[in-house]
Amino acid sequence: MRYLKMWKLSGGLFLGWSLGANDAANVFGTGVESGLVKYRSAIVLTSLFILLRAMPEGGKCMENVGGVSTLPPLMASVSITAAAITMFLLTYMSLPASSSDGIIGVIVRGGLISGRTDFSKLYAIIVCWFMTPYGVFL
């Protein structure tokens, strides 16, 4: 039983690592490659800023994303692992990918399979995706 819990956690840890690798590369990749930023500095800065943002606001994000669908634990674990593998492969192939699209995608797929998707919350997230670039100009 203890190993089953560890297996469920391993998908989340793998996803966290995959997202960190992908998103950090999107932010610091050119700086590190050109020699303007040291690799170690990029890792420390990325970790620091992720923690500084996740600590106060992470709960709100989890509430919004969790409201899209309610998944049984096994399906949630499989969905997280699928997202992690996808993000890992895209990062390995040096293809930039939107981590939020990937996470919402696996949650919606799991919700559609289980019949537990709240489309009003999904609609709000999609509207935010489209409005964010326009909000930069305001």
Q: Domain residues of the chain, as ranges? A: 2-135
The model carries a pTM of 0.71
Q: Structure tokens of 54? A: 């996740």
Q: Determine the pLDDT at residue 1.
A: 62
d(CA 113, CA 124): 21
* HEC secondary structure over 8-67: HHHHHHHHHHHHHHHHHHHHHHHHHHHCCCCHHHHHHHHHHHHHHHHHHHHHHHHHHHHC
Region of 70 (left: φ > 0; alpha: ψ -120 to 50; beta: rest) is beta
12-25: pLDDT as tens digits: 788 877 877 777 77
**Residue that wins the pLDDT comparison between 59 and 87:** 87
81-135: pLDDT as tens digits: 888 898 889 888 888 778 778 888 888 888 888 888 888 888 888 898 888 888 8
